[in-house]
Each structure stands twice: as C-alpha cells, then as structure tokens.
Structure 1
Amino acid sequence: MENIASNVELLYKKAEQYSKTSLELLKLHTIEKTSDVISSLTVVISISIIVGMFTLFVNIGISFFIGNLLGNNALGFFIVSGFYLILGIVVFIFRKSLIKIPIDNLIVSKLLKEKKLSNDLEKS
C-alpha cells in the first residue's frame, strides 16, 4: 500500500514539474514570437522613415524645378501637392488591399513560422 502511495506521490511531483516546465516553455516561446514580430516591424518602420526622408527631399527638389520651369515656385509646390493628394485618395480607397492585408499576413506568418517548424520536427 505504501508503494502505491509513493508511486502516486512521485507521479504527482512529475506532473507538477511537467506543467511548470510547459508553462515556462510557453512563456519563452511567446517572448520569442513577440520579439520577432516587433523587430520585423521596427525594421519596416526604420526603412519607411529613411525612404520617407529621401522622398521628401526629392519632392522639394522636384517642386523647385517645376516652379522654376513655370516661373513661380509656389506653382511647383501646388502641382506636387496635387499629385500627392491624388495618390493619397487612391491609397485611402485601396488601403485594405495595399496596407492592412499585407501587414496582417506578415504578422501571422511570423507567429506561425515557429509552430510549423516545431510540428515538422515532431512528425520526424
């Protein structure tokens, strides 16, 4: 009878240890996935800022160039601003397919990448 009680107690301790280890593994996996998504978004945001700054200065140059051609710098800026107004309207209309869906897909693929790899490893 004592042997059964000690086996049950040992089984309980192992189950408790297993659950603690599984919880710790889940925490670490969540931290890894979160850091992967945040670092990917940080890279995209950094590149976007650099491209945005480049585009800003190129557009200022184009505005001055068009303004000099037309004889009035203000007209150059109005023409470039009108172009961006039209571009903004187009992006607003197609914002779901141009912005939201690709970003959602990036985040989901980053979150599911590790899960797919671990499932493949379990199968082999």
Structure 2
Amino acid sequence: MNDNATILTTLLERAENYGITTFELFKLNAIDKSADVVSSLISRLAILITVVLSFIIINIGFALWIGKELGETFYGFFIIGVFYALLALLLHAFRHQWIKYPLSNSIIKQLLKKKHHEN
C-alpha cells in the first residue's frame, strides 16, 4: 500500500512539474513572439519616419517649384494639398484591402513564424 502511495505521489509531482514547465514554456514563447513583433514594428517605424521626413522636404520643394512656375508660391502648395486630399480619399476608400488586411496578415505571419535555432 505504501508503494502505491509513493508511486501516486511521484506521479502527481511529475504532473505538477510538467504543468509548471509547460506554463513557463508558454510564457517564454509569448515573450519571445511579443519582443520579435515589437522590435520589428519599431525598426519599421524608424524607417518610416525617415522616409516621411524626406518625403515632406521633397514635397515642399515641389510646391515651391510649381508655385514659381505658376507665378505665385502658394499655388504650388494648393496643388500639392489637393493632390494629397485626393490621395487621402482614395486611401480611405480602399483602406481595408490596401492597409488593414496586409498589415494584419504581416503581424499574424510574424507571430506564427517559427524560429530556427542553430545548435
């Protein structure tokens, strides 16, 4: 009888250790995936900020050039402004298929991506 109690106690301890280890593994995988997604988003954000700043400066140059060609500087800014207003309407109309779905799919792929560890 004592042997059965010892075997049962050992089995319960192993089951508890397995549960704790599984939970710890789940936590570590979640942390790894979260860190991977966040670091990827931050690096892309840094690139995006640089591109946006360059784009703004180029657009100011275009606005000044168009304004000079038309005789009044503010004409160039109005033309560039109207262009971006139309672009914003187009992006709003197609936001799901051009932005939301591809971004969601990218994040999901990043979360489901398996890491290849070399030993």
- Residue number in structure 2 paired with 1:83: 83
Shift of 1:97: 0.8
Counterpart residue identity of residue 114, structure 2: E
Q: Find runs of 4+ consecutive structure 1 residues off by over 3 angstroms.
A: none
Q: Which has a greater percent of helix?
A: 1
Greater Cα offset, 49-58 or 38-47: 38-47
The 5-angstrom pairing of residues 96-115 of structure 1 reads 96-114=96-114
Q: Could you say what secondary structure the match of 1:114 adopts? A: coil
For 1:114 and 1:103, locate their aligned partners in 2 and report how far apart those are by CA, in whole Å. Answer: 19
Q: C-alpha deviations, 1:10-55, integer Å up to 9, x for none?
A: 0111111111111100000000011111111112211111111010
Are positions 1:94 and 2:94 aligned together?
A: yes
CA-atom RMSD in angstroms: 1.3
Could you list the runs of 5+ residues in structure 1 that have no partner in the other structure? 118-124
Are positions 1:14 and 2:24 aligned together?
A: no
The 5-angstrom pairing of residues 1-124 of structure 1 reads 1-114=1-114
Counterpart residue identity of residue 47, structure 1: I
| TM-score after normalising by structure 1 | 0.89
Could you list the runs of 5+ residues in structure 2 that have no partner in the other structure? none
For 1:58 and 1:107, locate their aligned partners in 2 and report how far apart those are by CA, in whole Å. Answer: 31
Greater Cα offset, 68-77 or 35-44: 35-44
Counterpart residue identity of residue 65, structure 2: F
